[in-house]
Amino acid sequence: MTDKQNLVENRVNELISSGNAAYVDDDFSAAAAAYSSALQISGITAKTAAQIYSLRAQASIRMEDYVKAVYDANLAIQADGSLDKAYLRKGIACFYLEEYETAKSAFLSGLSHTSKPEVFRLWLRKCEAELEEENAESVPSTSASQLHKENESSAKDQATHVAKQQEAEPISSPVSDTTGETCGTQKPAKYRHQWFQSPAAVTLAVMAKGIKAEQADISVQRQSVHIAIKAPRSEDAEYELALELFAPVVADSAKVEFLSTKVEIRLPKAEPNVHWASLEAAGGGAPAPAAAAAAAAAPPAGGGDSRPSYPSSYAAARKQVRDWDKIEGELKGEVEDEKLEGDAALQKLFRDIYANADEDTRRAMNKSFVESNGTVLSTNWSEIGSKKVECTPPEGMEVKKYDS
């Protein structure tokens, strides 16, 4: 390994250690910044880059920026497809975004690359439970749609029968209004919708499967969205959604994607970095920019930790009430209980020793570490207090002095 490669590796390791130390101190923003700095160094290997992207994804999960976490986890997987933690972190972020199919796929992929399958299996069970509930609740909609077709067919048969009677008996009484009501009664099909946000944009997803562009009429204005989805082979809308948005968006830059499982609309925020407290404006009117910014900056009520929002109109319709605070605590506990490795574990050990030490021990640790250029860490002040601590490099390495 050349001197230049050594310098690159040392610098990258320093930044990773700095990020890990910040993570241990719950300063996730500083951790993500350190990892980002490490990624900007040219000459790092693909495996190292994958490790750093995975670490930054974990920091984003702790900051509840799940979209960013998915993005980094995907980059990690592209750089090193065998990195199990990248699949784990992608799956966790997707689970929080209620993208259960994607989360399940990530956990299954990670399961084939890990030596510790227990945590993947636990998350897979969580995903399967959510998907089973979704499938169970989709049955009434299918049945209602089928029932409507049967009713419509029955109504047509009845109308035909009445028409034949009228031809045979022209003086008979007029057709009852009930027939007309039966023909015209249609309950629009309902799709659930959900949303999530990043600092730059809000993404709205309508969970309608197999919808083509020609079936949808989507209009995005500065503070509103209107979506109409037509039934197959019909000009009538079977689903409509009209929303007054929480804050303004850049309508001209909105993007629509028709995916196999949903219709996804990306709405760039007119005021980036303003946190939306909800998708829709309270009372039908959007907040003023200053009010929105103040709401974003204000601490949570009661002074406690802010709870992550679970943005889904579907949640309100669930038959089974879920204790999301309990689930959140379980998931965060699993993330926190993940064992630290390498430099992160060592840094935590040193910090714990320092935090619980007396004054002489702390002085010894500081003096030995500084004077030895980080190669010695002593806790015995009586031994090193009166002498200079010499640099003691690891076996097989030597000390070199560089002119400043």
Q: Let me know if residue 138 belongs to a domain.
A: no
For the ranges 87-101, 321-335, 384-398, which has the lowest average pLDDT? Answer: 321-335
Tell me the helix, strand and coil percentages in the chain, rounded to 5.
55, 10, 35
What is the C-alpha separation between 300 and 64, in angstroms, rounded? 15
Q: Choose the final residue of a domain: 58, 91, 116.
A: 116
Give a yes or no: residue 79 inside a domain. yes
* Residue 167 identity: E
Give the single-character DSSP code of 249. Answer: B
The CATH number linked to 8 is 1.25.40.10
Q: Is residue 107 part of a domain?
A: yes
Instruction: Out of 116, 137, 169, pick the residue that ends a domain.
Output: 116
| Domain presence at residue 142 | no
Both tokens assigned to 288: 């003023």
Alpha-carbon distances, residue 156 vs 149, 150, 235, 245 (angstroms): 11, 10, 19, 42
Average pLDDT over residues 6-32: 89
Task: List the domain range (segments joined by +) for residue 248.
Answer: 193-296+309-313
User: CA–CA separation, 77 vs 85, rounded Å?
Assistant: 9
pLDDT in tens, 196-225: 888 889 999 888 888 888 888 899 999 999
Bridge partners, residue 203, by sequence: 196, 266
What's the CATH number where 223 sits? Answer: 2.60.40.790
Distance between CA 140 and CA 156 in Å, rounded?
A: 24
Tell me the per-residue pLDDT of 82-91, one tens digit each, with 9 for 90 and over. Answer: 999 999 999 9
Structure tokens at 374: 């980080």
Domain boundary among 263, 281, 313: 313
- Reply yes or no on whether the pLDDT at 398 is more than 50: yes
Residue 336's pLDDT is what?
Answer: 55
CB–CB of 100/131 below 8 Å? yes
Pick from 92, 140, 101, 98: nearest CA to 119:
92
**Which of these, 91, 81, 86, lies nearest to 55 by C-alpha position?**
86
What pLDDT, on a 0 to 100 scale, did the predictor assign at position 333? 62
Task: Please indicate, yes or no, if residue 375 is contained in any of the structural domains.
Answer: no
Express each pLDDT in 240-272 by its tens digit. Answer: 888 899 999 999 999 999 888 888 999 999 998
Has this prediction a pTM greater than 0.75? no
pLDDT-derived band at 373 (thresholds 50, 70, 90) equals confident
Mean pLDDT of the chain: 75
CA–centroid distance for 198 within its chain: 9
Number of domains present in the structure of the chain:
2
Question: Same structural domain for residues 201 and 112?
Answer: no
Q: Is the confidence at residue 44, as pLDDT, over 70?
A: yes
Nearest to 101 by CA among 128, 137, 74, 141: 128
Q: Answer whether residue 28 is part of any domain.
A: yes
